[in-house]
Amino acid sequence: MQNAALDLSDGRNFAQGFPHEFFTWLRANEPLYWHPPTPVTPDGEGFWVFSRYADVDAVIMDPNAYSSDRGGTRTAGGTTIKDEQSAGRVMNQADGLLHRRLRAIVNEGFTVKAIAGLEDELRTRTRRLLEGLEIGDRLDFAHRVAREIPTQAICIVLGVPETDRLMLVDWIDHGIEAPSEAVIAEEYSRKIRRYAQGLILSKRASPQDDIFSTIVHARFEADGSTLSDHELRSFFGLLFPAGAETTTRSISGGMLALVERPAAWRALRAQPGLLKTAIEEIVRWTTPSCYKRRTATRDLRHADKLIREGDKVTFWEMSANRDERIFEQPFEFQPGRNPNRHLGFGAGVHFCLGSVLARLELRVVFEELLASPLNFALDGVPVWMPNNRLVGLKSLPLRVIA
Ligand code: HEM
d(CA 331, CA 32): 22
The domain tally of the chain equals 1
**pLDDT tens for residues 35-45?**
999 998 877 88
- The predicted model gives 113-117 an average pLDDT of 95
Residue 292 alpha carbon, nearest atom of ligand 1: 16
- Residue 361 Cα: closest atom of ligand 1: 27
Higher pLDDT, 76 or 166: 166
Is any atom of ligand 1 closer than 6 Å to the C-beta of 104?
A: no
pLDDT one-digit tens code per residue, 344-402? 999 999 999 999 999 999 999 999 999 999 999 999 999 999 999 999 999 999 999 98
Q: Is the peptide bond before 272 cis (omega within 30 degrees of 0)?
A: no
| 172 part of a folded domain | no
Q: Is residue 304 part of a domain?
A: yes
pLDDT at 85 over 90: no
Beta strands across the sheet bearing 47-50: 32-35, 47-50, 312-315, 292-296, 66-67
**pLDDT of 181 above 60:** no
CA distance 204 to 228: 11
Predicted confidence (pLDDT) per residue in 18-32, tens digit = 999 999 999 999 999
Confidence at residue 2, expressed as pLDDT on a 0 to 100 scale: 57
Q: Is the pTM of this model over 0.75?
A: yes
pLDDT digits (tens, 9 = 90+) for 240-275: 889 999 999 999 999 999 999 999 999 999 999 999
Task: Answer whether residue 176 is part of any domain.
Answer: no
> What CATH number does residue 259 fall under?
1.10.630.10
Farthest-apart Cα atoms in the chain, separation? 62
CA of 57 to the centre of ligand 1 (A): 16
The domain in which residue 343 lies consists of 11-159+208-380
- Which residue has the CA at smallest separation from atom 1 of ligand 1? 247
| Top mutation candidate among 246, 247, 290 for ligand 1, by most atoms within 8 Å of CB | 246
In a domain, 391, yes or no: no
pLDDT digit string, tens, across residues 187-224: 888 999 999 999 999 999 999 999 999 999 999 999 99
Residue closest via CA to ligand 1's atom 27 equals 243
Residue 174: the pLDDT is 77
Which residue's CA is minimally distant from atom 35 of ligand 1?
353
Q: Whose CA is nearest to atom 21 of ligand 1?
A: 352
Specify if 171 maps to a domain.
no
Q: In this prediction, what percent of the chain has a pLDDT beyond 90?
A: 87
Per-residue pLDDT, 178: 52
Which of these, 102, 112, 21, lies nearest to 354 by C-alpha position?
112
Angle, helices 275-286 vs 355-371, to 10°: value is 120
| Binding site membership of 252 for ligand 1 (Cβ less than 6 Å) | no
For residue 252, the CA-to-ligand 1 centroid distance in Å is 18
Q: Within a 13 Å sphere around the CA of 334, how many CA atoms are in the beta-carbon half?
A: 12
Ligand 1 centroid to Cα of residue 93, in Å, is 12
Ligand 1 mean position, distance from CA 262 (Å) = 30
Please give the helix or strand (H or E) that residue 34 lies within, else none. strand 32-35
List pLDDT tens digits, range 298-339.
999 999 999 999 999 999 999 999 999 999 999 999 999 999
Instruction: Give yes or no for residue 179 having a pLDDT over 80.
Output: no
Q: How far is CA 27 from CA 66, 77, 96, 280, 353, in A?
A: 21, 26, 31, 23, 29
* Residue 398 maps to a domain: no
Determine contact, residues 82/41, Cβ cutoff 8 Å: yes
pLDDT of residue 182: 64
The answer as to whether 194 is a domain residue is no
C-beta of 344 in contact with ligand 1 (< 6 A): yes
